[in-house]
A and B are shown apart, each in its own frame.
Chain A
Amino acid sequence: MQANETDLAILDRILTGDQSAYRALISRHKDYAFTVAYRILNHREEAEEAAQDAFMQAFRSLNSFNREAKFTTWFYRIVFNAALGRKRKNKVITEPIEDFQLAGLGLTDSTDNFRAQERHEHLQRALRNLSPDDVTMITLFYLKEFSLEEIEGITGIAANTAKVKIHRARKRLAEELSRSLKDEARSLL
């Protein structure tokens, strides 16, 4: 999210009928919107659809946006709800997220990286078992672009509670990861 032009300045351009401003707003937020939706849905096409729905909804509601609030909080709440709505609607989503992730991490099938790859696969699986609230909080927290107050605005979970939930979710992931690695080691014996 570049800071050359503020979100409000782009909104002003949209409201005065500047069509190119829509493109500017999309370019600015599409990656983060997609990432949040992707983490909730674990499916690229579904996540793209959710992000597009969120943008459409935001465009339609720009007039109701309270300019004293932060645009990102308002917008990512729409993204969060759009992804959540889609998740509820389409229960069965099976795309393995690993294929994309491992390539991004630069991990190959070489023996050196095998264990790291294995841990990442287990972590991905464990992440998928978290609730949408938890996975969104973890995602926003690790993207490092959102304060706890913004996370509160997006997920509707109070900042203090969010912090505790993030700790607990990480602990749960650590436990689940260690359990599944142990199970796998046992099955190999």
Chain B
Amino acid sequence: METSKQRVLKAINHIQPDTTPVHIMGFERVGKWLKLFGAEDIFELREKLGLDLRTAFAIYAGPNTTRGLNIWGSDKIIGGYKGGGYSQEHGYHPLAGATSVSDIERFAWPDPDDFDYETAGKVLRTVPDTARFIGITHSNLGEGITNEDAARGKSPVISMKHAAWLALLCTLFELFGLEETLIMFYSEPKMLESAIAHVEAFVLEFTRRRLEATQGLVDIYVYGDDFATQKGLMISPEHWRRFLKPTYKKIFELIKGYGVKIWFHSCGTFRPVLPDLIDIGMDVWETVQVHLPGNEPEVLKREYGKDITFFGAINSQHTLPFGTTEDVRAEVRERIRVLGKGGGYICGPDHTVLPDVPVDNVLAMLDEARKFSP
């Protein structure tokens, strides 16, 4: 039997693994799952579920958490329905009042010195047989939480509440507000470029330090953004290429320089720029919501299957919450048959597991992926 690490690396290198690797990126109200599986933290939960990938977080220890803000100075909390999901607590966007480039320059951008990068390495050393990844999500310290707890995602209600992910467009939304950001593509491109340069500089340094601190330990770096809806891109391909792509490219180049694979999250459907992401080095695409126009599994595998690996593709809007365990198993088999042919597929939900998803459906998904070979 292959180890988790072998299985994942084979899939990413487009070699048929013994079984399809499995992973789950996010659980909403993870407390229920921790309790159910007797796990102390998210790290241990993934072990108990037998997932093939493991991560540990960088830890923010700067001043913002105690002010009820995330590292961008926004009041976004992880946790959009009451008590969970993603939402602005009071709709506060720290750069909403900015009127000039110098307002952007003067902003208190996050400081890479405010993070502990080392503890993640220490945690990851304990699981040599799994595929290990780090990425752009961090956790926070809080009352009664040690650095090791935070790296492992213990007490997520505290350690993850004000966590941010270091996406580009989504960070601009947090800083300026969504509508304002989208209008700025036309009205204030200089301000937008200035903010992008600052976000980029921070993310590059954060990423460099994460990679330095975990050299030889990690196989994958998870980066991501959200620029698409269920119908298509939020912004035009031209805007995407001019404003976002250059930053993604620099981050990808940095990661490649460490010999680490690039795993990129983006929800929705965005076929016009998928080849751009492949050109700049994306190895794995996360979410793969195959019920959306342009994301048909046969088409994706045929057009892009030799270039990238697909992670996700099990429907978290219909099958997982509302289907039977047999519906879930049938969908897993169908995805493995198409997307997993010759490797190139990691099975999992195409988004966060929400509290309405029956535990049995998640277990059926994992079990079917492990035993089904096409």
Q: Do chains A and B interact in one complex?
A: no
